[in-house]
Amino acid sequence: MDNKNTSSNFIRDIVIEDLKSSKVKEVVTRFPPEPNGYLHIGHAKAIVLNFELADEFGGRTNLRFDDTNPTKEDTEYIESIKEDVAWLGFKWDGLYFASDYFEEMYNRAVLLIKKNKAYVCDLSPEEIREYRGTLTQPGKESPYRNRSVEENLELFERMRRGEFKDGEKVLRAKIDMASPNMNMRDPVLYRICHASHHNTGDKWCIYPMYDFAHPIEDAIEGVTHSICTLEFEDHRPLYDWVIKECEMECQPQQIEFARLNLTNTVMSKRKLKQLVDAGFVDGWDDPRMPTISGLRRRGYTPEAIRKFCREIGVAKTNSTVDHRLLEHFIREDLIDKTPRTMAVLRPIKVVITNYPEDKEEIFEVDYNLDAPEMGKRPVPFSRELYIDRDDFMENPPKKYFRLYPGNEVRLKDAYIIKCNEVIKDDKGNVVELRCTYDPETRSGTGFTKRRVKGTIHWVSARHAVPAEFRLYEPLINDDAEGDSENFLEQVNPNSMEVLQGFMEPSMKDARPMDRFQLIRIGYFIVDNKYTTDEKIVLNRIVALRSSFKVKK
């Protein structure tokens, strides 16, 4: 694979220290998504970090589905997550499901009860919240806190047998209702939920809470470094409490790092699901989505995503990364990998009046001058062409070097033409430009010393292949800055522009997921959802340039 991340970060330093002091013999990490949606670019950061860290020190990384929440999870998500991790270029050592540990977790909960470290509580969810107190006020003890061990054992078993309704009872840890850390105020360990689970079916009607389940999952798998995002920093004492009181043999260490936030993006499966469900996008893999599947359909490469994830680094404070940094890495990755061809997205016809009607020339032009091994393609030239509307102005401002009445431009890899006449329809729209060409000015022949300031792209009308082009802008308007709750109001209504244009004939056999650099327009990929035998649809991956400056 490409260059690994051997630049230092504080988690890597901890790992090196732990190996040196023999605290751990082998580094074991895991990537533990909840299968309640598709993975996004934030997950890619966690994936790259976990897999590359273990890999660097000859360790192992598991893919573990944290499937403890039956109502939100689905096998569709499981399949997509596996596909995305593999596509990003990573091979997991073990593939596990938290739900496979339910029996073990239940037994550990029974152990807690026997040690008088957990109790069944009948308070309602609202009452539990009330009793918890606030940051400035200690909580109140539940009236059920001092139930006997025997009674708790019996009630917990009856919870498991399904004798109670959802919300009627919970199992709570018995820690400290006055702890300054709210997470330690007798947190809920188990709740009742009569719902079918994608893996265990109807076997269970009680489900462990994240804070109880996660440390046990890690410990069962022998995870040494359990890396999670900063919101869990305050949960660490509870993580350690569970490991200790449940008497787990392995003692994983939880380490928190800053999650990735991107400008003009929401990044939480819950919110992304809302965008899908409300129809703002055509699915989780819409090319505007920050999901891995969206980025894939948009034309991103795993290499570009991995490089981006390494470059943003691993920090202890949250920040928001400019989404244009991600674009920088795909541009950099595609520059010498992609054939360069011509297409016209907003066509306007050009007639070369001094070019014979029945004549045609075929120019042999390099696919990519920087990568001559890609070979050449035939580019036909004839009397009628299309150019882009943007490359013509009837009344241009100063320093406009493209086509206007009386001006000359070079047609890329062809001739210099001059615009002599502008034809309009009844409504005054420009429909055709009458031009003449100078036969002495063929590109690459060395005959001509004549230079003009502008070069524009074009397609021979007779040979042009119709195609649809989709141009994208960020899905979320700028002022949204990260993950605000009213993001649905900030959805950009102009995030996609669909254009019907033409491409040069060398592209007519393009297949879904083929990439091109369309000269002067940007990098494009053939869409794998809407392309048919009749029509090719291309998504713009990214424009060629950006005003964004990358700090080196």
Residue 430: half-sphere exposure toward Cβ, Cα within 13 Å? 22
- Return d(Cα 330, Cα 118) in angstroms, integer: 52
Is the distance from CB of 267 to CB of 483 less than 8 angstroms? yes
**Which of 38, 367 has the CB closer to ligand ATP?**
38
Is the distance from CB of 206 to CB of 160 less than 8 angstroms? yes
**Which of 170, 228 has the CB closer to ligand ATP?**
228
Question: For residue 191, what is the DSSP state?
Answer: E
**Which of 89, 396 has the CB closer to ligand ATP?**
89
Which residues of the chain form contacts with ligand ATP (CB under 6 A)?
32-34, 42-43, 45-46, 66, 228-229, 259-260, 267-270
**Which of 214, 457 has the CB closer to ligand ATP?**
214
Shortest distance in whole angstroms from residue 32 CB to ligand ATP = 5
Which residues are paired to 419 by β-bridges?
A: 435
Judged on CB neighbours under 10 Å (0-12, 13-18, 19+), 434 is middle
CB count in 10 Å sphere of residue 36 = 16
Which of ligand ATP, Mg ion, none does 197 bind, CB closer than 5 to 8 A by kind?
A: none
Q: Is 221 a catalytic residue?
A: no
Which of Mg ion, ligand ATP, none does 225 bind, CB closer than 5 to 8 A by kind?
A: none
Residues whose CB is less than 8 angstroms from the CB of residue 522 and which lie 6 or more positions away in sequence, other chains included: 540, 541, 542, 543, 544
Is the distance from CB of 230 to CB of 258 less than 8 angstroms? yes
Question: For residue 259, what is the DSSP state?
Answer: P
Which of Mg ion, ligand ATP, none does 45 bind, CB closer than 5 to 8 A by kind?
A: ligand ATP
Shortest distance in whole angstroms from residue 273 CB to ligand ATP = 9
Q: Is 34 a catalytic residue?
A: yes
Which of ligand ATP, Mg ion, none does 46 bind, CB closer than 5 to 8 A by kind?
A: ligand ATP
Shortest distance in whole angstroms from residue 250 CB to ligand ATP = 18
Place of tokens 């994830």: 309
Site size with Mg ion, rule: CB under 5 A: 1
Phi and psi (nearest 5°) for 302? -60, -35
Residue nearest to ligand ATP (CB): 42
- Return d(Cα 73, Cα 398) in angstroms, integer: 60
Q: Is 450 a catalytic residue?
A: no
Tokens representing 204 are 């269970």
Shortest distance in whole angstroms from residue 26 CB to Mg ion = 28
**Which of 260, 542 has the CB closer to ligand ATP?**
260
Is the distance from CB of 418 to CB of 429 less than 8 angstroms? no
Shortest distance in whole angstroms from residue 218 CB to ligand ATP = 11
Which of Mg ion, ligand ATP, none does 160 bind, CB closer than 5 to 8 A by kind?
A: none
Question: Which residue is catalytic, options 64, 269, 297, 298?
Answer: 269
Tokens representing 23 are 């605290």
Binding string, 24-63, against Mg ion, x = CB under 5 A? Answer: ----------x-----------------------------
Question: Which residue is catalytic, options 30, 169, 185, 259?
Answer: 259
**Which of 179, 320 has the CB closer to ligand ATP?**
320
Shortest distance in whole angstroms from residue 21 CB to Mg ion = 34
CB count in 10 Å sphere of residue 517 = 22
- Return d(Cα 62, Cα 50) in angstroms, integer: 9
Could you list the active site residues? 34, 259, 269
Where along the sequence are the contacts to Mg ion (CB under 5 A)? 34
